[in-house]
Structure 1
Amino acid sequence: MKRSLVLQPLSREHHQALVFSKRLHALADLPEQNQLKEWNEFRLILSDALLSHFDEEEHYFMHELGVKADNSLLKRMMEDHQAMRAYMNSGEVSQLHQFADLLKAHVRFEERELFPWLEKEFSLT
């Protein structure tokens, strides 16, 4: 699917997020004694990439495009972002599979629902 020029950089970052999701599943399947060490190292990479991505989307969609805070698609995006921020801030490794699944579902939601709606609603090219 051809993505609008303004959303292409975010879509490319979504591909990386899917790679991160696979890595999270792999971490969750490690022996318990290795999980925390690996998670703490990987969490720095994730935080750097995902937090800036979340901030960029939130700023662009709300402040530059003017999507209203009560929009159901924007609400879903914000709820997902908040949940993933909580996962990244947690030192808990028992929920890595859930985090990985949320990240994957979130990327699919944005690519299949949110981005097409934004392109149509705001005539993004």
Structure 2
Amino acid sequence: MEKKKPIKRHEALKPLSRQHHFGLLFSWKLRKGFGKNIEIERIQKYAKWFYEHEIKPHFKDEEKYLFPIMEEGNELVERALKEHRRIKRLFHDTKDPEKSLHRLEEELDAHIRFEERVLFNEIQKVATEAQLEKIEEIHSELEKTPDYSDPFWD
């Protein structure tokens, strides 16, 4: 079996990649919660907290600083923006929270893997040093997200 080489990430993009790691961890925590038959309300409460503290600022940063590096109408950026909209809807869906959380767990995971394996690599190829410095400057001011108070996944 062929072993994949780790992706060499530019220093400026590492904070966003680290946030992606937390997104993958979020999906894992949802899976653990479902596997332990945790009440949907508890999982939903965590998802709302995660959206406010992690997803919302992360999407905002990507859309404001990272995606504009690519040419207007770039199909990879268009795909990412479409996925952002779908993921936001899943976080806010109250009609069938259990179904939405299951879909969210899968779609967020797939979205992060697309951004990490495809989109970020393309952005790295075309970004100027000045653009990367600006991204690095913005992320040097990031505050640590507080820990969530109900670790149902343990």
Bin of the TM-score, shorter chain as denominator length: 0.7 to 0.9
Find out whether 1:20 has 2:23 as its counterpart. no
Distance of 2:52 and 2:93 partners within structure 1: 12
Q: 2:15 is matched with which residue: 4, 9, 12?
A: 9
Q: What secondary structure does 2:43 align onto?
A: helix
Conserved? CA contact 2:30–2:43, under 8 Å: no
Q: What secondary structure does 1:68 align onto?
A: coil
Conserved? CA contact 2:47–2:91, under 8 Å: no
Q: 1:57 is matched with which residue: 59, 62, 76?
A: 62
Find out whether 1:82 has 2:82 as its counterpart. no
Partner residue of 1:112?
Answer: 117
Please report how far the alpha carbon of residue 45 of structure 1 lies from its aligned counterpart in structure 2 after TM superposition.
Answer: 2.5
**Greater helix proportion:** 1
Matches within 5 A, 1:90-101: 90-91=93-94, 92-101=97-106
The CA RMSD measured in Å over matched residues stands at 2.0
Equivalent position amino acid for 2:76 in 1: L
Equivalent position amino acid for 2:29 in 1: R
Structure 1 residue ranges (4+ consecutive) displaced by more than 3 angstroms after TM superposition: 27-32
Question: Aligned residue pairs: how many?
Answer: 122
Conserved? CA contact 1:20–1:46, under 8 Å: no
Please report how far the alpha carbon of residue 44 of structure 1 lies from its aligned counterpart in structure 2 after TM superposition.
Answer: 1.5
Please report how far the alpha carbon of residue 110 of structure 1 lies from its aligned counterpart in structure 2 after TM superposition.
Answer: 0.5
Which has the greater radius of gyration?
2
Give unpaired runs (5+ residues) of structure 2.
1-6, 133-154
TM-score, normalising length: structure 2 = 0.70
C-alpha distance 69-40 of structure 1, shift in aligned 2 (>3 A): farther
Partner residue of 1:35?
Answer: 40
Q: What secondary structure does 1:70 align onto?
A: coil
Please report how far the alpha carbon of residue 69 of structure 1 lies from its aligned counterpart in structure 2 after TM superposition.
Answer: 3.8
